[in-house]
Structure 1
Amino acid sequence: MIDLEFMDRAEQLLLAVEQGCDRINDDTDADLDSQRSGGMLTIVFANRSQIVINLQKPLHEVWMAAQSGGYHYRFDGTRWMDTKGDGEFFAALSRDASRQAGQALQFTA
């Protein structure tokens, strides 16, 4: 993957997360605050915990930091997959956001 392709796909991912936060706020009482600064997106929960997603352009990876730990994802041609084989990005984001919000939340690509 070239840098331009990575940035295009990574920006799509960040936009999907932002839109997911907006949808969740419209549909639930989770009260997520998403803050974007360049290639970094921070989701702040009502309990003040955070999930931080940032782009690692030189590595062509997207990193996510949550209370459960830190994760690295690479695009496999179809989906953003964990580099250690621990699953797909949006499934992991949904899992960790649900834990931190104290209710079931669903993010999709």
Structure 2
Amino acid sequence: MTDSEYMDRAEAALAAIEQACDRINDATEADIDNQRVGGMITLSFPNGSQLIVNLQKPLQEIWLAARSGGYHYRHDGSDWVDTKTGEEFFANLSREASVQAGQPLEFSA
């Protein structure tokens, strides 16, 4: 994948996260604060916990930092998948956000 293709796909993923936060905040009591600075989004929850999504341009990856650990995702042509487990990025983000919010939340591409 070219650097340009990576950036297009990665930026689309970050935009999807921002849109999902807006949708979730409108539809639930989750009250997720999302702040974007360049290629990084910080999701802050009312309990003080955070999820951090960060673009890693040199590696063409997206990284997720969560209470449960750090995850690295590479695009496989259709989805962002964990480099160790093969789990899809938005599925893992949904699970991690649900745990931290204390309610089921869904993020999607």
- Sort the TM-score into its range (normalised by shorter chain): over 0.9
Tell me the CA shift for residue 29 of structure 1.
0.3
TM-score (normalizing by structure 2): 0.98
Q: Distance in 2 between matches of 1:79 and 1:25?
A: 25
Matches within 5 A, 1:1-109: 1-109=1-109
Runs of 4+ in structure 1 off by over 4 angstroms are none
TM-score (normalizing by structure 1): 0.98
CA shift digits 1:28-56 (9 cap, x unpaired): 00000000000000000011100000000
Q: Percent identity?
A: 65
Q: Distance in 2 between matches of 1:103 and 1:32?
A: 12
Secondary structure at 1:30's aligned position in 2?
Answer: coil
Secondary structure at 1:29's aligned position in 2?
Answer: coil
Secondary structure at 1:94's aligned position in 2?
Answer: helix
Tell me the CA shift for residue 91 of structure 1.
0.3
| Structure 2 residue runs without a partner (length 5+) | none
Q: How many residues align?
A: 109
| Structure 1 residue runs without a partner (length 5+) | none
Q: Distance in 2 between matches of 1:88 and 1:63?
A: 12
- Computed over aligned residues only, the root mean square deviation of the Cα atoms, in angstroms, reads 0.6
Q: Distance in 1 between matches of 2:20 and 2:56?
A: 22
Q: Distance in 2 between matches of 1:5 and 1:31?
A: 33
